[in-house]
Amino acid sequence: MIDSLTTLQTTLKTTPSDPDLVLTQTYKAVINGETLKAPIRPASQQPQGSPKGGAPGTTATVRQEIDLTNIVKRLELDAEKKRRVNWELGLGAGVHNGKAYGIVSIQRNYRPDRGVELEVHLAPGLKGTEVKHKWMY
């Protein structure tokens, strides 16, 4: 969701050459508790002609501020998922029928939420392997 705040104000012109419309837009996001703003250069529309009787007329001012914090948070989350480690190595120990053995494993994460692991069991007189598919939540 994008939050936005728009205000409209009219004021009397001091001279006929003052702009009819002043538009100011600002984009902001709060990142790690710090507010960052990216203002867009204000645009003014000059009058096409003087109002009747040569009076200056009015200027309409539109100010719009758009909060992009939620979009930035989503982009940061997506970037974090892409930075996850693709390969994992592991060492461990196990026991089978009262005999201890060593474990060596390697895992390949082929997507941020999925991986395949190969585990090799090593001990004198005992050899075994395991292959696992993993879903990460």
Q: Where are the domains of the chain?
A: 3-80, 84-135
Q: Is 68 strand, coil or helix?
A: coil
Q: How far is CA 18 from CA 40, 48, 129, 130, in A?
A: 21, 11, 81, 79
Q: pLDDT tens-digit profile of 67-87?
A: 888 888 888 887 777 776 789
Confidence of residue 137 (pLDDT cuts 50, 70, 90): confident
Bridge partners of 118, per DSSP, are 106, 131
* Alpha-helical regions (H) of 27-119: 69-82
117 has a pLDDT exceeding 90? yes
Q: How far is CA 15 from CA 1, 11, 20, 50, 70, in A?
A: 42, 12, 11, 10, 43
